[in-house]
Amino acid sequence: MNILIPCPHCGPRPVQEFIHGEVPVVPESITDEEERDLDRAFMRDNREGVITERWFHTFGCRRWLTIQRDTRH
């Protein structure tokens, strides 16, 4: 099984050509700037449902994509 990422510049490409990360949502209750940066960099929700991720096409056009992915499928 191969997952294809829909790159708007290169067309559908194999997931192995990309690196990715979740776009974190930092709680408003965290007001300290250093704590917010720590939370943004290392804390992941790993929740079920639709999540927003940033994907970088490392072995292609070298551009960033924003993709929403449903973890239930």
Range of the domain at 22: 4-70
Give the pLDDT of residue 41: 63
pTM value is: 0.64
Q: pLDDT of 35-51, one tens digit each?
A: 777 766 666 666 788 88
- Taking residues 10-21, report their average pLDDT: 91
What is the number of structural domains in the chain? 1
CATH code, domain carrying 44? 3.30.2270.10
Q: How confident is the model at residue 17 (pLDDT cuts 50, 70, 90)?
A: very high
**Could you give the 3-state DSSP secondary structure of residue 48?**
coil
Point out which residues pair with 57 in neighbouring strands: 18
Instruction: Tell the burial category of 2 from Cβ atoms under 10 Å away from its Cβ (0-12, 13-18, 19+).
Output: exposed
Instruction: Tell the burial category of 56 from Cβ atoms under 10 Å away from its Cβ (0-12, 13-18, 19+).
Output: middle
